[in-house]
Structure 1
Amino acid sequence: MTTEHTIAELDDADTALAYDAIRALRPHLTSVDQYVDVVRAQRKEGYRIVASFDASGQVVAAAGFRHMTNLYAGSHIYIDDMTTLPSARKQGHAGALLKWVDEEARRLGCTSVQLDSATHRHDAHRLYLNSGYVIPAFHFSRSL
């Protein structure tokens, strides 16, 4: 198991490096260009990406997040996307990303880190619960 992880925030020029990792979670993104365009639009809303690299320098895990303030949670970081390539799972990459996000949230004066996770992602749920996350609510959605 890897004990050291190289974690870095990706700027606009490096966004494409996270495509393979993000696509593991978001398979509807069918090209690097489409992904970069979507992220570029989201960056205008404060979206940021942090990545975990393997020994060869490939991004194997990524977290997309934004700093938000709302009535129910106050100032917090919301993780939109948290994903690891299947070949790199169970090596500590996602845990290292969660720690990085926690540190960034503290730096920004946030009171919490929030995220949603699909109901079938049991391994991710185990990671979140083992990392101190709780399930305070159900998330409801309605397609229009």
Structure 2
Amino acid sequence: MDNTYQVKIIKTDTEIEQCWEVAFLLRPHLNKNKWSSTISEMMQNEKYSMAGIIVDDQVVAFAGYRAMTSLHSGNIIYIDDLSTLESYRGKGFASQLLAHVRAIAIANHMDAVVLDTGFDNNTAQKLYLKNGFQFSAVHLSASLK
């Protein structure tokens, strides 16, 4: 079976809505009623982009990423979100999306592709290491709520 599917750039409100189910798996704190407007605002104001893999008219995996510059890492693409529906995991879709983002970074002469993942998310860490990422920092945050 060929596990390579076309990566589609997500742009329209309908396409954004189709990403909800897979996004909710990664970000269960999100509000479905605010999903499209939040993503549209991020796309407009924060250089956020989305790419998805569609199987049988359903988005089964998506990556959300943005181009940015930091003093630490230079001109980068930061991957905010990467998720695959549970029934489609293990088919190479996340790796295909990572390769897609890497190709965008290379084509735009970026310095790196950067992401964060949870300390206990061993499955994701193995995926990232397999796709050429390495541990390079510890991400800390202070909740204000």
Shorter-chain TM-score: what band? over 0.9
Separation in 2, partners of 1:47, 1:30: 18
The yes-or-no answer on 1:140 pairing with 2:140 is yes
- TM superposition shift of 1:2: 4.3
CA–CA distance in 2 between the matches of 1:53 and 1:80?
20
Equivalent in the alignment of 1:81: 81
Pairwise CA distance, 1:101: 0.3
Q: Which amino acid aligns with 1:25?
A: L
Q: CA deviation at 1:120?
A: 2.1
Identity percentage of aligned residues: 33
Name the TM-score, length of structure 1 as normaliser: 0.93
**Superposed, which structure 2 residues align to 1:48-67 within 5 Å?**
48-54=49-55, 56-67=56-67
Whether the aligned pair in 1 keeps the contact of 2:4 and 2:93 (CA below 8 Å) is no
Instruction: Name the structure 1 match of 2:90.
Output: 90
- The residue identity in structure 2 corresponding to 1:36 is S
Following the alignment from structure 1 to structure 2, what is the Cα–Cα distance between the partners of residues 2 and 123? Answer: 23
Corresponding position: 1:3 with 2:3: yes
Is the Cα contact below 8 Å between 1:77 and 1:112 reproduced in 2? yes
Q: Give the superposition deviation at 1:103.
A: 0.5
Q: Does the 8 A contact of 1:2 with 1:92 survive in 2?
A: no
Structure 1: which 5+ residue stretches go unaligned?
Answer: none
Residue 18 of structure 1 is matched in structure 2 by 19
Unpaired runs of 5+ in structure 2? none
Q: For 1:3 and 1:84, locate their aligned partners in 2 and report how far apart those are by CA, in whole Å.
A: 14
TM-score (norm 2): 0.93
Over the aligned positions, Cα root-mean-square deviation in angstroms equals 1.2
Q: Using the TM superposition, give the Cα deviation of residue 94 of structure 1 relative to its aligned residue in structure 2, in angstroms.
A: 0.2
Q: Which residue of 2 aligns with 1:130?
A: 130
1:66-95 per-position Cα deviation (integer Å, ceiling 9, x unaligned): 000111111110000011111110011100
Structure 1 moving runs of 4+ over 2 Å: none
Judging changes above 3 Å, is the alpha-carbon distance between structure 1 residues 110 and 120 closer, same or farther for their aligned structure 2 residues?
Answer: same
Amino acid across the alignment from 2:95: G
